[in-house]
A and B are shown apart, each in its own frame.
Chain A
C-alpha cells in the first residue's frame, strides 16, 4: 500500500511540477516539489524507501531532460537516503524545522547537482548556488512546509505523522 501511495504521490508531484509550478514562479525561481516529496518519503518511511523513491523520482525527471540522464536520480537517491537516516533526529511537531530541513536539502542536493553539471568548475558551482539554489531553497521550504502539513493532516494524525514519533516503524 505504501508503495502504491508513493507512486501515486510521485505522479501527482511531477505532474504539478510540469504544469502548475511554472505559473507560480517568482522571477524564474520555482519551488522544487520533487525534492519536497523525496524528503517527505525519506523522513516518513525511512532510508530504504527514501533512496528508492529518490532514485525513481530523479530518473523520471531525467527522462524529460536526457542531456544529463542519471544526474537527478543520483542526487535524489542521496537525498532520500540522508533524509531517511536523519529522521530519528527530527522533531515531528516542529514545522519551522521541517522548513529548515527542506532549505538545507535543496542546497545539499544542488551542491552535488552543480558540481557534476559544471564538471567541478567551482566558480560556476558557487554562482549556481547563490543565484538559483538559494532562492529556490527558500521558496521550496515555504511551499514544502505546507505540503508537510497537508500530508500530515491527510494521514489523520496531524503534523506528528511525519518525523520521529511518526509512521516510523523501526
Chain B
C-alpha cells in the first residue's frame, strides 16, 4: 500500500521530505548549523577549492611576494621614523595626562570560501575558535574595514562583509568629525545615513570607524565620500561612499583580536621582530630603494 501511494504521489512525497529536512535544518541552532555546514562543506568543496586555489596561487604568489617585500622595506623605514615621533608624542600625552591610546592587534587570515548565495555577502576564513577568533570581532584588509565575524567553528570563521544587507557601521568624517551610519546601497556604493543637512561633509572626505556601537574600534579606514546631495525633504544629506577595500576580490584579511598598547608584546611575533630589526632581504631591499 505504501509503495502504491509512494508510486502515485512520488513527487509530492519527495517534496514533503525535502521541506521537512529543510525546516529541520533551519530550526537548528547556529552552532549546530555551522558544524553541519563545516563537515559537509569540507567534503563537498575541498577538492574544488584546492584546484581553484592552486591555480590562482600559481599566478599570483610570485608577483605578490615581490610587491610585499618592497612594501615591507618601505614600511620598515617609515616605522623607524614613526617610532621616534611616537616616543615624543607619548611624552607629550603623559605630560597632558591624556588616556593611553590603544591599537588593534591583528590575526592574519586567508579567505578560503565565499558564499554562493546572491543575497548575502559572506567570506569563509581558514581560522576559527582555536585561533581565538570570536563572533563579532571586526575584520579588516590592508586598505580598510571588511566586516565582522558572524559565525565561528573550531577551525573556520564566517565573515559578514559590509556588502551584506542589514550590516551598519558608525563612521566619522576624518576632516570634519561628522558622524553617520554607513549602509550598503548597491555594487561598490554605500550610503552614509543620519547626517543632518547642515553638517559639513564634502566629496573626497575620508571616513573612519567612529568606535561607537562597541564592535568596530575607532579609526579603522572605511572609505571615501564620492557624492553629497540634500535629501528631498531637505532634512538630511544624501552621502555616497566608496569603500577602500574592493570587497568582491579580497583574499587576505585580518581579524582584530583585541586592542593593545603600542608596546604590546603581541603586536609582533618573534619572526616579525627579526624581519623588522632589518635582517636579510628586507634590509637589502630597503638599501636598493
Contact = CB atoms under 8 A, between A and B. Distances in A.
Given A81-B11, A113-B119, A73 B21 contact: yes
A77 B11 CA distance: 11
B22 A55 contact: yes
Nearest to A114: B119
Q: Max chain B CB contacts within 10 Å: which of A64, A71, A84?
A: A64
B116 A14 contact: yes
B117 A65 contact: yes
A25 to B, nearest CB: 7
Interface stretch (B31-39, B86-94, B210-218, B268-276): B31-39
Interface stretch (A44-52, A146-154, A162-170): A44-52
B11 A63 contact: no
B150 A77 contact: no
B163 A132 contact: no
Contacts of A48: 10-11, 14
Given A18-B114, A113-B119, A67 B158 contact: yes
A84 B45 CA distance: 28
Interface string B12-23: 001100110111
B132 to A, nearest CB: 21
Interface string A1-19: 0000000000100110111
Contact of A51 (B15, B33, B116, B118): B15
A81 B19 CA distance: 11
A77 B20 CA distance: 11
A95 interface: no
Contacts, number: 137
Interface size range on B against A: 35 or more
Contacts of B48: 11, 15
A64 B124 contact: yes
A65 B158 contact: yes
B99 interface: no
Contact of A28 (B10, B28, B124, B188): B188
A156 interface: no
A123 interface: no
Interface string B87-130: 00000000000000000000000000111111110101000000
B23 A70 contact: yes
6 contacts: A29-B186, A55-B21, A67-B122, A74-B26, A81-B15, A84-B11
Interface of B: 10-11, 14-15, 18-19, 21-26, 28, 30, 33-34, 36-38, 40-41, 44-45, 48, 52, 113-120, 122, 124, 150-151, 158, 163, 165, 186-189, 248-249
Given A27-B187, A64-B117, A67-B33, 17 more contacts: A15-B52, A22-B249, A26-B187, A27-B186, A32-B118, A34-B116, A55-B21, A60-B116, A63-B40, A64-B122, A66-B41, A69-B25, A69-B37, A70-B26, A71-B26, A85-B11, A110-B119
